[in-house]
Amino acid sequence: MAQTPEQRKSNKRLALILASVALVFFVGFMAKIAVLGF
């Protein structure tokens, strides 16, 4: 399946959004552990 440049660009943007959301969750999780002192 060949993708158009527009589709590839939107895929890259979606991957970037998912990665940043995962990063925010991870940082929040680490901060919670640091605050609770585990």
Tens of pLDDT, residue by residue over 1-38, are 788 999 999 999 999 999 999 999 999 999 999 999 86
Establish how many alpha carbons lie within 13 A of residue 30's alpha carbon, considering only the half-sphere containing its beta carbon.
Answer: 6
pLDDT of residue 37: 82
- Letter string b/e over residues 7-38, b meaning 16 or more CB atoms within 10 A of that residue's CB: eeeeeeeeeeeeeeeeeeeeeeeeeeeeeeee
Looking at the whole model, is its pTM more than 0.85?
A: no
Backbone phi, psi, residue 23, to 5°: -65, -45
Find all residues with CB under 8 Å of 26, minimum gap 6, and list them. Answer: none
